[in-house]
Structure 1
Amino acid sequence: MDLKGKVALVTGGNGGLGQRICHALAREGVHLAVMYAQSREQAEAVAQDIAARHQVNAVAFQCDITDAAAVQALIGAVTARFGSLDILVNDAAFNKAIPFPDLDNLTEDVWEKIMAVNLTGPMRLIKAVAPVMKAQGAGRIVNISSVAGLGPSGSSIAYAVSKAGLIHLTKCMAVALAPQTLVNCVAPGLLEGTRATANLRAEQIANASTLALLKKPADKDDCADMVVTMCRTETMTGQTIVIDAGRVFH
């Protein structure tokens, strides 16, 4: 798909990886809806920076993706503002570091919040944009999962299961939305300088680089570039690409 002039909604667009994704798409001439949950001033600053640097339209939109009505309102607001919606990037996520053996602290409240943001939220967003993309005759959806979804690792059992679910949701939605809309997934390893990483224990951060073949964290720009590739592709759907400096092979 030719990306110039297209419109993308990036959830968590004000986050460490989300900002990189927004800038990578904007460099291709994509207009950006930068979705945030709480940090309005930061998101508006990100949108202004994108517009100034890349000469595209960029607007910040607030949404609680755990609220079904708010998600529907968001899609309506984005399409009303830009006139179309061609790309959805599900980057918003929540985690809380709980060691796997510590089942007492893996409460139902924690489980439900992680699932609501990391799995049910993307499902809601995909369902909301599906009719828009079908009517337009084309669309691209990219989910941001994690290597934690490919094996029993990560900040908590709930986080790992939510990201595994997102990988399988990618496959199922690729089937459901074909042939107009292509759905793919990026599964990063440890990314430095993100809010998700800030919630990890120090030993988890250290081990991620030590155990990687390349002896360093995953690169946010590599992940953002892969998102662009998945938006541009015409013949890849239902796929998950791992970017983790050489830890997980699938």
Structure 2
Amino acid sequence: MELSGACAFVTDGSGGLGSVIAISLAKEGANIAVGYRNGLAHAEEVKAAVEKQGRKAILIRFDQTNPVSVDEALRNVAEDYGGCDLLINNAGMAAGGRTLPHGDLAALTPEIWDEMMVVNVRGPYLTSRAAASYLRKSKWGHIVNLGSTIGYGTWGASASYAPSKGAIVPLTRYLTAALAPEVAVNCVAPGLMEDTQMSSSAPMSFVESWQNQAILGEITSLNDVASHVVAFCKSGTVAGQVLVVDGGIHFN
């Protein structure tokens, strides 16, 4: 399936992974709506990079935890592009800049728990719900959710955000059943990614622990993750699948 002329809404399209996804989709011919909440300068850089590929780009500032903001964002995308064809649910959070000791349940307060669930689970649900009518009318009609390898095995047992990221898997399955046959929904679940805030700020010992567990001996490439997002968007016969991209830490 060719994506030339499609409109892709990428949430947190100004972030490290989101920007690579947005540019990768533009290279395939898609026009991009760059969703962002903060960081206008980064969003403008992504817009310029998309336009450099000869595609159109617009900036959509919104709060994916707020239903009114989400609905308005999708209306704005549809007004600019005549609809919405591809939704990439990329926005999420780990601990919101907090330091939560592994396994410290007392430090994981109800407020922090609720925030992660709202951002990581409710957010993709709200954006998918708001985009559903547009996606159903589209000849492309795809949603790709970004999960995490942290939701598999025992690797994420002490990670505070693992429950919220792991919940993306059943959300993907639910959306697949709810939106088929007009819309295909899939999920890409990356491991620790290179050149991101998490990997750049982490101690080298932490990064090396991921490399040592990966049978390919590498942490996850942003370009590799983006390529699989694009592949899901181009597929006409894949739905309800979760692809783990973590160098071979988990077999799924």
Q: 1:79 to 1:92 in 2, by over 3 A?
A: same
Deviates more, 1:127-136 or 1:5-14: 127-136
Q: CA separation in 2, counterparts of 1:58 and 1:104?
A: 44
Which of these residues, 170, 192, 195, is aligned with residue 193 of structure 1?
Answer: 195
Alpha-carbon offset, residue 216 of structure 1? 1.2
| Count of residues paired in the alignment | 249
Q: CA separation in 1, counterparts of 2:207 and 2:145?
A: 23
Alpha-carbon offset, residue 38 of structure 1? 0.6
Give the structure-2-normalised TM-score: 0.93
What are the Cα deviations for residues 158-216 of structure 1, in whole angstroms up to 9, with x where unaligned? 41111110011001110110000000000111102213445656543221112111111
Residue 47 (structure 2) aligns with:
47
Give the structure-1-normalised TM-score: 0.94
Deviates more, 1:129-138 or 1:42-51: 129-138
Q: Percent identity?
A: 35
* SS of 1:103 mapped into structure 2: coil
Q: 1:242 to 1:22 in 2, by over 3 A?
A: same
* SS of 2:212 mapped into structure 1: helix
What are the Cα deviations for residues 61-86 of structure 1, in whole angstroms up to 9, with x where unaligned? 11111111000000000100111210
The reply to whether residue 231 of structure 1 matches residue 233 of structure 2 is yes
Q: 1:223 to 1:121 in 2, by over 3 A?
A: same
Q: CA separation in 2, counterparts of 1:151 and 1:63?
A: 34
* SS of 1:105 mapped into structure 2: coil
Alpha-carbon offset, residue 35 of structure 1? 0.6
Alpha-carbon offset, residue 156 of structure 1? 5.6
Aligned CA-pair RMSD = 1.7
Q: CA separation in 2, counterparts of 1:239 and 1:246?
A: 17
Residue 15 (structure 1) aligns with:
15
Gaps of 5+ in 2: none
Q: Is the 8 A contact 1:95 1:155 kept in 2?
A: no
Q: CA separation in 1, counterparts of 2:207 and 2:236?
A: 36
Residue 174 (structure 1) aligns with:
176
What amino acid sits opposite 2:225 in the alignment?
A: C
1:90-129 to 2 correspondences below 5 Å: 90-96=89-95, 97-129=99-131
What are the Cα deviations for residues 24-51 of structure 1, in whole angstroms up to 9, with x where unaligned? 1000110000111111121012101210
Q: CA separation in 2, counterparts of 1:69 and 1:156?
A: 34
Residue 164 (structure 1) aligns with:
166
Q: CA separation in 1, counterparts of 2:74 and 2:197?
A: 25
Alpha-carbon offset, residue 152 of structure 1? 3.8
What amino acid sits opposite 2:103 in the alignment?
A: P
Gaps of 5+ in 1: none
* SS of 2:187 mapped into structure 1: strand
What amino acid sits opposite 2:87 in the alignment?
A: L
